[in-house]
Amino acid sequence: MHDEDDDNDLTADLDLGFDGAEDLLRVWRQGMRPDPNLTVSEWADQHRWLSSRGAAEPGRYRTARAPYLREIMDALSPGHPAQRITFMKAAQVGATEAGNNWIGFVIHHAPGPMLAVLPSLELAKRTSRGRLDPLIADSPALRERVNPARSRDAGNSMLSKEFPGGILVLTGANSATGLRSMPARYVFLDEVDAYPASADEEGDPVTLAEARTTTFSHRRKVFMVSTPTIRGLSRIEREFEASDQRRYFVPCPHCGTMQWLQFDRLRWAKGKPETAAYHCEGCERPIAEHHKTEMLAKGEWRATAVSRDPKAIGFHLSALYSPLGWKSWSDVAREWLAAQGSDETLRAARNTLLGETWVESGDAPEWQRLADRRESWKPGTVPMAGLFLTAGADVQRDRIEVDIWAWGRGLESWLVDHIVIPGGPDDPAAWDKLTALLGRSWQHANGAFMTVARLGIDTGYEAAAVYAWSRKVGFEQVAPLKGLEGFNRSAPVSGPTFVDATIGGKRLRRGARLWSVATATFKAETYRFLRIERPSDEDRAIGMLDAPGTIHLPGWADTEWLKQLVAEQLVTIRNKRGYAHQEWQKMRERNEALDCRVYARAAAWILGADRWDEATWRRLEAQAGVETRLTVAIAAAPTPPDPAQPKAGTLTTPRRKRRAYTPNFMRD
């Protein structure tokens, strides 16, 4: 045991008469003293300070604020046997700060080469400025070990932090160079589900990053964190399912039953999310929000599966565990209710609130079932609830196929017409007939006439000819479309972007306006809408309406058209390394009906139908002479028709102050 007498013996023969000798001895003694054997959570409680720049609750870090993070952080400590730690989680549960605590611990107590991978280089730079710099600046133990990035020390920069015994390198998952930069004992993979499929076409970013740890064998640590995305594509879900799948069990304050919190047990009065309470699976009694702090403090992680790799562990956490003051149960209920009615918002809610993957509706309905559900209305007419028309045009080698769709509230839709124009893109007569179609009108059930508000046309075949025709007729009523693969897009339609068009061999700069469409999103939506159950005759008798999104097919839609509408299926494809991606594949050769539906749906999105407010829908209904479809009627004095008002289908929503085109069918 080292003590003061040993120090005296060692220094007895030394001349200590010079200035600073005592300081030298004090530092020497401190260096001989071993570092305390701390875990990551203990280190965070002792040394971590949260900055007001990056934390909602600045000050000393307290693991007790989010006790479920303790075991996750401690698994990252050198003394823990786990080498691969997976954390699949909802938003706002403290995962980012847990990762920052690990970085601070490594710099201070377990130095070594460390690689932190963000989805992109730009995000890595933002993380360095917004999180790492405050982490270092506000924690004295780290500040004395890492020089500022702006100092003359060339070893430190925005993406590289040197410290005694190690280095931290930040990079983006889109940079193969950064992922191959160095061997690493520690690898922090943040938001892995947002990584690209390949880093500079050199392979999966996760695989490339983990390859950096090979030389460290049993001493390595890989921490993988993310909010999940789509079932079958989610990296974090695949890793979690291969682990021991730990869940955080908490006790019921009434009966003591240990349970992990599940969304279907969060219940509230209809339309009143503020009444949300969790119902115990043991005694079924409601648990009020204020019990959560005690429940979390007494909680424990329990494995619910057997890991394929004994050194791999996994944790899952939903927003139901978010501590008091972060996200309440009523907040969760409110956000879930707000997400209803849209695939995009519902998917985001499932990912960020529940920490679970979204299951795409990829199985095509049986065409026979669709045939049985066909309805009867006069061919070529717009049913009463249809408020505007869009068209989808699919250009083939020897023909142009066009479907006309009517749209109503909640994106309820009706197939109004199916037109085949003979002649391919090299036939001027075919384009003339398509032009004539833009001026044609279809009669509404109440006698009004409507023209196509917007026609979406595919540019995948003979794009130059499509651009030339679109430019000739004008882009106000026509939208050239380019299909893009994949689901992970912020919006299903983006643009327009200007592209060069060729007219008679001459290139016109910025000659066409092109919209990009995530066709996979609209295909999944179409199949989901086709599965919506219809009200029974008894339900209709008491006033029940069709659900939003319902697709109505006419009796004249033949077998071939129905088969084309369900000609594709969403399948999961795995590459040689076992990584999966989902793609739509044809189950039969012809799929023009499905493509035309997607293009017409994109045209409705471009018009703004997904974003119109209640006032806009009411004006459209008033112009079409349609009684409001809301279940609660708003009393108003009858207003005599004004001859100066626009005819059926006119959009009169106030817009941004810029010149806006009004399609012919919306004009007097």
Considering only residues 377 and 561, tell me which one the structure prediction assigns the higher pLDDT: 561
Question: What is the average pLDDT across 555-565?
Answer: 91
Considering only residues 337 and 486, tell me which one the structure prediction assigns the higher pLDDT: 337
- pLDDT at position 257 over 50: yes
- pLDDT at position 112 over 80: yes
Q: What is the pLDDT of residue 436?
A: 94
Q: What is the pTM of this model?
A: 0.59
Q: What is the pLDDT of residue 579?
A: 63
pLDDT tens, 581-620?
777 877 777 889 999 999 999 999 999 998 888 888 888 8
pLDDT tens, 308-358?
889 999 999 999 999 998 999 999 999 999 988 777 788 889 999 999 988
Q: For the chain, give the mean pLDDT.
A: 83
User: At 536, is the pLDDT very low, low, confident or very high (cuts 50, 70, 90)?
Assistant: confident
Separation of first and last alpha carbons in the chain? 98
DSSP string, 187-216: EEEESGGGS-SSSTTSS-HHHHHHGGGGGG
pLDDT tens, 189-237?
999 988 887 777 677 888 888 888 888 878 899 999 999 988 767 889 9
Percentage with pLDDT > 90 across the chain: 42
Q: Cα separation of 620 and 633, whole Å? A: 16
Calculate ∠ Cα 273-344-574, nearest 5°. 125
CB under 8 Å to 285, separation ≥6 — which residues? 252, 254, 255, 279
Q: What is the pLDDT of residue 654?
A: 42
Tell me which of 136-145, 148-157, 242-251, 410-419 is least confident: 148-157
Q: Cα separation of 59 and 56, whole Å? A: 10
Tell me which of 27-31, 584-588, 645-649 is least confident: 645-649
Instruction: Provide the pairing of β-strand 452-458 with 388-395.
Output: parallel
Enumerate the β-bridge partners of residue 258.
251
pLDDT tens, 284-308?
999 999 999 999 999 999 999 999 8
Which amino acid is residue 410, in one-letter code? G
- pLDDT at position 535 over 50: yes
Q: What is the pLDDT of residue 508?
A: 58
SS3 category, 223: strand
State CA 144 to chain mean position distance: 39
